[in-house]
Structure 1
């Protein structure tokens, strides 16, 4: 994972029955699928929600989890 800015936002959205992580840097940006940020995306363990590894890494960088 490359240098990550702090203070972004994360949201879990349901897609096809699965929870998938979406990201944005601030309130003025639209939510984007986490894999649209290849510089942040990490591979997920098998059987976990898409984006869980990225979610945990971004929490350590002071990103905020928004309730959906």
Structure 2
């Protein structure tokens, strides 16, 4: 995982009946799927929500989980 900026935000969105992690660095940015951030994206174990490994890693780095 590359250098992670502080203060990022994370949100789970439902896409095609699957939970997918979305990210943004600040409130003025649009939410984007975590795969659009290759510097942060980590592979997920089979059977888990898309982005769970990235979510846990970013959470440890001080990112905030928000609700829609």
TM-score (norm 2): 0.97
Aligned residues between the structures: 68
Q: Is the 8 A contact 1:13 1:19 kept in 2?
A: yes
- 1:22 equivalent in alignment to 2:12: no
Q: Give the unaligned 5+ runs of structure 1.
A: none
Query: Which residue matches 2:5?
Result: 5
State the SS of the aligned residue for 1:22.
strand
Which contiguous aligned blocks of 4+ residues in structure 1 show a shift greater than 6 angstroms?
Answer: none
- 1:51 equivalent in alignment to 2:40: no
The CA distance in 2 between the partners of 1:61 and 1:5, in whole Å, is: 9
TM-score (norm 1): 0.97
Displacement after TM superposition at 1:6 (Å): 1.2
Displacement after TM superposition at 1:39 (Å): 0.4
- Alignment RMSD, CA only? 0.5
